[in-house]
Amino acid sequence: MLRRINWLAVLLLALPLTVITEAQTLRDAATARGLRIGAAVNMNPFRNESIYTQTLGREFNILVAENAMKFDAMHPAQNTYNFTDADALVAYAEANNMAVRGHTLVWHSQIPGWLTGGNFTRDQVIAIMRDHIMTVVGRYRGRIAAWDVVNEAVSDNNGQLRTDSFWHQRIGPEYIAMAFQFAHEADPDAKLYYNDYSAEGSGAKSDAVFNLVSGLVNQGVTINGVGWQMHQINPFRIQQAHRTNAQRLASLGLEVSITEMDVRISLPTTAQELSEQALAYRDVVEFCLSQPNVKTLVTWGFTDKYSWIPGFFSGFGDALIFDMNYQPKPAYSAMLSALGGGPPLPAPTGLAATAGNAQIQLIWNPVAGATGYNVKRATTSGGPYTTIATVSTTSYTDTTVTNGTTYFYVVSAFNSAGESANSGQVSATPPAANFALSANPASLTIIRGTSGTSAITITRSGGFSSSVALSAGGLPSGVTATFNPATTTGTSSTLTLAASTTAATGMTSLTITGVGGGLTRTTTLILTVNPAPDFTLSANPSSLTVNQGASAASTLSITRVGGFAGSVAFSASGLPSGVTATFNPPSTTGTSSTVTFTASSAAPLGSANVTISATGGGLTRTATIALTVSGGGGTGGVTITPAINANSPWYNEEVIRLNNTGNITALSVTIVIQRTTGVGLNGQYNTVGGQILQSNTVTPATITYQFTLAPGQTLGMGTNRTFAAQTNGAGTIHPTSGDTYTVTYTTGGVSFTQTGHF
């Protein structure tokens, strides 16, 4: 309990001793600053919309009749005055403790037809004018603080008086001085104004107004001030010319009042335009506060719901400080805070920092009512902050930064009422000086004996401007690297890699190194050195035996190197006679083919080296196959034909006929005949002669007939050599299909056996 009370005491002590209450209306804020702030009043909503009069009384301490005190409204017939509306306005003002400006006594516009069409003499017109002024001003004597006695008497064109004015035409230029004299007579305490538009700053019309009023002053005419209507087009800002003009009028002893301000916007209106419009209103408030002779600011209406602008300036609107729904616009808030009222300025939002080389750019959102911003920086997060700039814009570029250092920023807004809290903190780090290397292409393939290039790019950042020396490491033997240029302060170099004809082939990873400004950076380049396009040919098997009357195959392999991609065609040479070679496929862009050797049955036996050629891409490569023609499975050029010459119950002869194309160096012909019942040997013979030995063997079941080439004998080429086996008897015909023969012979050094039956 005790503890809690102590804390409460500490808290109470920590509270500020004075609480400052900010004015929450334009009226309160302006009154506090000694300013008259007012608006022109439209009678229709004045009489019919309570929110209109509520707003009017709450926000303004002076009012003016937009139309109700003009000549035609107050003086509809020569002897008739209508004070209803003017009386109501003055009564309202007094009830609400507001001042009144009177607008306007003598103007070329909004004058009644009875006057302009009345054919009055000069003296009569002067008398009418005097009567009007005496009656109207006199009625409100002491109650209307200031009168626009003469309105818009100066021409837009030539800086002269407006000569087409009714008053000028019917009285002459003296009408102006007369009007002021009558008004002064009617209310000696009222401030008397000359009021005009487009005469606020510099220019011929401003000069003409100045000359007019200085003439009146010199004549001793009672004139107290000049009204600047201030009908402006967005965007509008107060210029030095306005201050200069206000000061030269002050030098005549004259006040200036802003009497009819509005800032019309080309429709449709954007948020940006509303912000600009706020600056116009804020400027005029600040102008009034800073000029000792400008203490009244009246806007021509106050809600966009009732403004003369849309009806008089096609396509324009939104010229006032409350919107159509009586909601305060940015212009209202800007005026209020320029008057030192309203809530304290909020801290800026949306602060963002972007680091560049040796600079950090800051942007933030505008704060309504702010006149400027303090940009504060720290090198540790959270401060302490130092104000490094005071700006009126919502961006700032800090160029007093060191690359690689982190900076912390906050921004505050201020106006004449004070400074806001700081915005949220942002930080940024301008990049440290650095560079990076890259190679394009990053992988390169070159053929021995040629060269290739890669573009080396040096990407500089953080203001890195040193010269960079380039080198290449990891080069395979026989490859050289040159950089053009080898050192540069620029951003590129060309690397040429050249491979000798004997350079090591294969893929290598090169390291490209750049050295500069104390930094070393690398990039990798993959280099592939290829041999020249070529191929080799091999055969598997490379030694092959093909039997007569048969085939044998070998697989041919193409080994391609150096990117050789051509089609290769195959052929064979050195084939033994009777042997053919076929290739499948006969040409290929692939890597293999099959060669098949086929030997005819009569192909001479023996061995030969066959050359296989592969041709493609202008290159011919060969492989050798040792080919042996063998008899296995063939006949050696010998044809054996069994025949039956006779077949009857009493006589049978079965023969072997032999044709040979080569020499036979050994021969054995064996015929075995079955013995069926009653069948016996009859005889045997041959057609060769004495070179053949013949014999037979008889068993109960068979008779074997034997013919043999005598040792050392050779049978040359011959046809139809016959070897016959004969039987006889009275038995049955034996089935010859059971009779067999075996012929064994040697030709070409190879032995063959042919068997069969009859």
Which residues are marked as active site? 152, 260
Q: End-to-end CA distance of the chain, in Å?
A: 140
In SS3 terms, 339-370 reads as CCCCCCCCCCCCCEEEEECCEEEEECCCCCCC
User: Applying CB under 6 A, does 308 fall inside the site for ligand XIL?
Assistant: yes
Distance CA 370, CA 347 (A): 10
Which residues within the stretch 427-486 sit at the binding site for ligand XIL (CB under 6 A)?
Answer: none
Count of residues in the chain: 758
Quick one: which of 61, 181, 229, 257 contacts ligand XIL (CB under 6 A)?
229
Site string for ligand XIL, 103-142 (x = CB under 6 A): ----------------------------------------
Whole-number minimum distance, CB 35 to ligand XIL, in Å?
A: 21
Residues 516/467, Cβ–Cβ less than 8 Å: yes
User: Applying CB under 6 A, does 155 fall inside the site for ligand XIL?
Assistant: no
Which residue has the closest beta carbon to ligand XIL?
A: 308
Token code pair at residue 731: 């038995």
Instruction: Print burial letters for 319-339: b (CB count within 10 Å at least 16), e (below 16).
Output: bbbbbeeeebbbbbbbbbbbb
Q: Give the residue with the Cβ less far from ligand XIL, 227 or 330.
A: 227
Site string for ligand XIL, 27-66 (x = CB under 6 A): ---------------------------------------x
Of 660, 633, 628, give the one whose Cα is nearest residue 549.
Answer: 633
**Which secondary structure element, helix H or strand E, spans residue 183, and what is its range?**
helix 175-186
CA dihedral sign, ordered 576, 582, 583, 584: negative
CB contact set of 237 (below 8 Å; sequence gap of 6+):
279, 280, 283
Whole-number minimum distance, CB 107 to ligand XIL, in Å?
A: 7
User: Applying CB under 6 A, does 151 fall inside the site for ligand XIL?
Assistant: yes
Token code pair at residue 101: 């400006």
Distance CA 194, CA 196 (A): 7
User: Applying CB under 6 A, does 752 fall inside the site for ligand XIL?
Assistant: no
Burial of 5 (0-12, 13-18, 19+ CB in 10 A): exposed
Whole-number minimum distance, CB 424 to ligand XIL, in Å?
A: 46
Whole-number minimum distance, CB 406 to ligand XIL, in Å?
A: 58
Distance CA 136, CA 531 (A): 114
Bridge-based pairing state of the strands 99-107 and 146-151: parallel
∠ CA 284-289-293, rounded to 5°: 95
**Which secondary structure element, helix H or strand E, spans residue 671, and what is its range?**
strand 664-674
Whole-number minimum distance, CB 260 to ligand XIL, in Å?
A: 6
Distance CA 264, CA 251 (A): 32
Whole-number minimum distance, CB 371 to ligand XIL, in Å?
A: 30
User: How many angstroms separate the Cα of 376 from the Cα of each of 396, 398, 482?
Assistant: 11, 10, 52
Which residues within the stretch 526-585 sit at the binding site for ligand XIL (CB under 6 A)?
Answer: none
Distance CA 392, CA 518 (A): 42
Q: Give the residue with the Cβ less far from ligand XIL, 236 or 570.
A: 236
Whole-number minimum distance, CB 164 to ligand XIL, in Å?
A: 17
Instruction: Give 208-260 as a DSSP string.
Output: HHHHHHHHHHHHT----EEEE--EEESS----HHHHHHHHHHHTTT-EEEEEE
Quick one: which of 28, 85, 260, 318 contacts ligand XIL (CB under 6 A)?
260
Q: Give the residue with the Cβ less far from ligand XIL, 191 or 448.
A: 191
How many Å separate Cα 503 from the centre of its chain? Answer: 45
User: Applying CB under 6 A, does 286 fall inside the site for ligand XIL?
Assistant: no
User: Applying CB under 6 A, does 67 fall inside the site for ligand XIL?
Assistant: yes
Whole-number minimum distance, CB 67 to ligand XIL, in Å?
A: 5
Whole-number minimum distance, CB 52 to ligand XIL, in Å?
A: 15
Q: Give the residue with the Cβ less far from ligand XIL, 66 or 739.
A: 66
How many Å separate Cα 664 from the centre of its chain? Answer: 94
Q: Give the residue with the Cβ less far from ligand XIL, 320 or 610.
A: 320
Q: Give the residue with the Cβ less far from ligand XIL, 150 or 558.
A: 150
User: Applying CB under 6 A, does 85 fall inside the site for ligand XIL?
Assistant: no
Q: Give the residue with the Cβ less far from ligand XIL, 286 or 318.
A: 318
Distance CA 718, CA 658 (A): 8
Q: Give the residue with the Cβ less far from ligand XIL, 37 or 319.
A: 319
Whole-number minimum distance, CB 42 to ligand XIL, in Å?
A: 7
The residue count for binding ligand XIL (CB under 6 A) is 6
Q: Give the residue with the Cβ less far from ligand XIL, 144 or 527.
A: 144
Of 606, 657, 633, give the one whose Cα is nearest residue 550.
Answer: 633
Q: Give the residue with the Cβ less far from ligand XIL, 301 or 341.
A: 301
Distance CA 279, CA 270 (A): 15
The footprint of ligand XIL (CB under 6 A) covers 66-67, 151, 229, 260, 308
